[in-house]
Amino acid sequence: MTATSMEELVSLAKRRGFIFQSSDIYGGLQGVYDYGPLGVELKNNLKAAWWRAMVYERDDIEGLDAAILTNPMTLRHSGHEATFTDPMVDCRACKSRWRADHLDGDACPGCGSTDLTEPRPFNLMFKTQVGPVQDGDNFAYLRPETAQAIFTNFKNVLDSTSPKLPFGIAQIGKAFRNEITPRNFIFRVREFEQMELEFFVKAGEDEDWHSAWVEMRLDWWEQQGVGRSQLELYHVPADELAHYSKATVDVMYRFPHGLEELEGIANRTDFDLGSHTKNQGDFDLTAAVEPNKDSNAKLALQDLEAKKWHVPFVIEPSAGVDRGVLAIMNEAYTIETLENGSERTVMAFKPHLAPIKVAILPLKRNHEGIVNKAKAIKNDLMRLGIGRIFYEDTGNIGKGYRRHDEVGTPLCVTVDFQTIEEDDTVTVRNRDTMAQERVAIADLPNYVINNMRG
């Protein structure tokens, strides 16, 4: 069961400390959100899962963390200055602005007026001044995507790690787009994070690798709790492709507001490396790129057998962290009717994504022996390095269980009088089944680790 509306997720996100409107006390900042105590844990766990799958579990991918401020030349030769635009219209009646391709008909979504301006291109990139002199020439862009820094660092990574094709460079980081109409909570925002891989392959092998990466990405989302029944593949038509793309497959997810893109897997050909390479005439480029007199780099590989240089093709799986968080929260959101007729809300996260892995609850918060034992158990479980172990001393076990159901904690451990007076065991309660069992404290670390694999 998923949420029936976006409002359900927004309400839970604020109430339980997942996501807040940025600058809320001043009326907020449209299209910008802050991640709260539980949201930052969920977000970090999702990024860690992606990094583990992309970098740690493979020997053909290296990581990168590049700067946000971007040299304008990078985005000029990438084509962003000329093409990174959306069509914008103004409503003359209510003075609102809208993306033309999001209008349903010819009426303003705000007031219903049909008195709209003609669509005009609007560049989505944020510009900022660099240095103390504001003369119009000393500026940089906040990067609109993380990909370009991977391409401009291609030779640096090549020289320092000596990889052989096929190989990839992965990056997670902030990107900024001055969206005309941010909407649908954290789905479309102005400041967001991306998880992007640029996977370099030989020309001629690109189509097979493109298909392979689509399947690998579907498998990965399924491992995060987003079932294939909730996903569809959209093969972007030729007339809708980005300027760099030979083919793109969008992984579409059924968000509460409708079926929209969760991740895109693009075949970018040799466009990007070719665009940033000096003396492009030395290479047999497939993509049509503008001459580059500003670069001093040769972003290419040498084919020792053929005794020639060539520019690799690149396959790019690109996922939004925020959209991923939204999809995972939606998939986890469950309302169950219990045998007594009451309801409980459960965020059924996969254990590796849960913001809190284990909650430690002392039966009596003012009993020194119980409290000390509970804190000692927390410290022991923290040494496992599996994530956040939470100590909660409200003293009301039933309410504690319900609260941790709602934030997605897989296991709750209750320390009681039997623990300290009889047999050194604790009660472990499972989030999904609500089953409780006594577990020896000595066996608790292994018990927890085994349950984190579910």
pLDDT digits (tens, 9 = 90+) for 248-277: 999 999 999 999 999 999 999 999 999 999
Where b means 16+ CB within 10 Å and e means fewer, 241-271 reads: eeebbbbbbbbbbbbbeeebbbbbbbbbbbb
Rounded average pLDDT over 381-405: 93
3-state secondary structure 21-49: ECCHHHCCCCCCEEECHHHHHHHHHHHHH
Residue 151 has pLDDT above 60, yes or no: yes
Dihedral angle, C-alpha 97, 89, 182, 228, nearest 10 °: 150
Rounded average pLDDT over 115-138: 86
pLDDT at 454: 56
Give how far the C-alpha of residue 180 lies from the chain's centroid of Cα atoms, to the nearest Å.
21
Residue 102's pLDDT band, with cuts at 50, 70 and 90, is confident
Rounded average pLDDT over 287-305: 86
**By percentage, how much of the chain surpasses pLDDT 70?**
100
Domain boundaries 6-84+124-328, corresponding CATH code: 3.30.930.10
Residue 41 φ then ψ, to 5°: -70, -45
What pTM value is reported for the model? Answer: 0.92
What does the alpha-carbon distance between residue 82 and residue 365 come to, in Å, rounded to a whole number? 63
pLDDT at 16: 95
pLDDT at 288: 85
Answer for the pair 407, 38: CB distance below 8 angstroms, yes or no.
yes
Token duo for residue 330: 């939606």
Residue 210 has a CB neighbour count (10 Å cut-off) of 23
Chain-wide mean pLDDT for the chain? 93
Name, in order, each residue with C-beta under 8 angstroms of 51's C-beta and a sequence gap of 6 or more: 63, 170, 172
pLDDT-wise least confident of 26-40, 100-114, 231-245, 321-335: 100-114
pLDDT at 110: 87
Angle formed by the axes of helices 321-332 and 37-51, to 10°?
110
What does the alpha-carbon distance between residue 332 and residue 447 come to, in Å, rounded to a whole number? 23
Strand order of the β-sheet with 97-99 is 97-99, 85-90, 120-123
Domain boundaries 354-452, corresponding CATH code: 3.40.50.800
What does the alpha-carbon distance between residue 316 and residue 273 come to, in Å, rounded to a whole number? 13
**By percentage, how much of the chain surpasses pLDDT 90?**
78
Residue 395 has pLDDT above 90, yes or no: no
Rounded average pLDDT over 219-223: 97
What does the alpha-carbon distance between residue 429 and residue 435 come to, in Å, rounded to a whole number? 6
Q: What secondary structure does DSSP assign to 37-81, as a single string?
A: HHHHHHHHHHHHHHHIIIIIT-SSEEEE---SEE-HHHHHHTTHH
pLDDT at 133: 78
- Provide the residue ranges of all domains of the chain, joining segments of one domain with +: 6-84+124-328, 354-452
pLDDT at 57: 97
pLDDT-wise least confident of 93-97, 306-310, 401-405, 408-412: 306-310
Residue 224 φ then ψ, to 5°: -90, 0
Residue 336 has pLDDT above 80, yes or no: yes
Q: Do domains 6-84+124-328 and 354-452 have the same CATH topology?
A: no
Residue 1 has pLDDT above 70, yes or no: no
pLDDT at 379: 97
Q: Which residues pair with 346 in a beta bridge?
A: 334
